Chains A and B, each alone.
Chain A
Amino acid sequence: MRVLAVVPAFNEEECLANTVASLKSTCPDVDCLVVNDGSSDGTWDIVRKNRLHGANLPVNTGLTSAFRTGMKYALRHGYDAVVQFDADGQHLPSYIPVMARKLEETGANMVIASRYLDGTVRPSGARGAGSRLITFLIRLTTGARITDPTSGMRMYSKEMIRLFATSFDCAPEPDMVALAARRYGPVVEIQATMQERQGGESYLKLGNVIKYMSRTCLSILMLRFLR
């Protein structure tokens, strides 16, 4: 199975090199495509200097569009699966082969690396509450039990690659998890741990959490009836 790791990077010069280096050393079979999303810092210089495989968006277009760039690349080069992998080092590459195996075994369309699957860690704080709310909404609208819908480490099947590469509005976000669970076959999870981010700034700053939550929840509910 040919797996492509898509690493969207917006102003991630601090940790990008380390993240990709550990990805390559842990999973030599997995190809890696860094998508520089019009960064204003030296992210693209890092890609060039380390001779990483990279695509360079000439303007900042947002995480969704950066990820779709990777999905288009995967579709055009015939990959069997794509894993969404953060540039900031919070995702551990050792889970990629586990996810790939799970994808093959179960024939699922999406595998999520969940922090909460085995129940030893529980979602806590404001973010945890948000995560639980999304879990509840997905269960309500699709019947699927997704313990960690906001996990950014997801693996997508060939069918999902095609969907992302060709659709008008497909975001690598929890609302798509819900849509996938309902329309495109099973979404399964594996247990995983994640690290604290190793540097740089998150796409999800605290001020954006309310916006993120209302967008996600409304979108899950609207997609239930519209698609």
Chain B
Amino acid sequence: MLPTQLRVLLVIGALLALLIVCNRVKKSKILMEDAIFWTVLAFVLVLLAVFPQIAICVSQALGFVSASNFVYLVVMVLLLWKVFTNSSEISRLKAKVNELAQEIALAHVDEDESAEKNCG
């Protein structure tokens, strides 16, 4: 069984998350492509709360002591996945910022060089 309290908490939490995400999208504080993840996460939590049979079946099949443990694991895996993709995205952003800084620096060197040639 999935405890009723946990089910209620999941639904409340998911609705809260949806509210915050929608608010951010409306205020142009997050890109739609990034908001999708959180929306899907909220739906997954609602799904698990509304249909406890899913969690119960899978947790029994995988040998979990209780269905709530399985729900926690799902949340943890999703969050770890998100942290990792964030990390790799930050890596790519760092590389891009560095590239841009390098190009700015090199563009100015070439400007200086052509200016010197014109003077001399």
A56 at interface, CB cutoff 8 A: yes
> B83: which A residues are within 8 A, CB to CB?
none
Interface pair A57/B109, CB less than 8 Å apart: no
Task: Determine the main DSSP class of B at the interface with A.
Answer: helix
**A69 (CB) vs chain B CBs: closest residue:** B102
Separation of A72 and B105 alpha carbons in the complex (Å): 11
Central interface residue in A33, A55, A59, by most chain B CB within 10 Å: A55
Give residues of chain B (91-120) contacting chain A, Cβ–Cβ below 8 Å.
95, 97-98, 101-102, 104-106, 108-109
* Nearest Cβ on chain B to A125's Cβ, whole angstroms: 33
- Asked if B97 and A61 make an inter-chain contact with CB atoms under 8 angstroms apart, the answer reads yes
Name the distance in Å between A78's Cβ and chain B's nearest Cβ. 14
B12 to chain A, nearest CB (A): 42
Q: Is the CB of A55 within 8 A of B106?
A: yes
Contact A65 B101 (CB under 8 A): yes
- 10 smallest CB-CB distances across A and B, nearest first, come from A65-B98, A55-B105, A69-B102, A61-B98, A55-B109, A57-B105, A57-B101, A61-B101, A56-B105, A69-B105
Contacts of A203 in B (CB 8 A): none
**Is A58 on the interface with B (CB-CB < 8 A)?**
yes
Within 8 A of B (CB), among A43-95: 53-59, 61-62, 65, 68-69, 72-73, 76
Number of residues of chain B lying within 8 A (CB) of chain A: 10
A2 to chain B, nearest CB (A): 15
Closest residue to B104 on the A side, CB-wise?
A58
Complex: how many Å from CA A72 to CA B101? 12
Q: CA of A69 to CA of B106 in the docked complex: distance in angstroms?
A: 7
Q: Judge whether A65 and B102 touch: CB under 8 Å.
A: yes
Closest to A38 in B: B101
Q: Are the CB atoms of B106 and A76 closer together than 8 Å? A: yes
A54–B106 Cα gap in the complex (Å)? 9
* Chain A residues within an 8 Å CB radius of B106: 55, 69, 72-73, 76
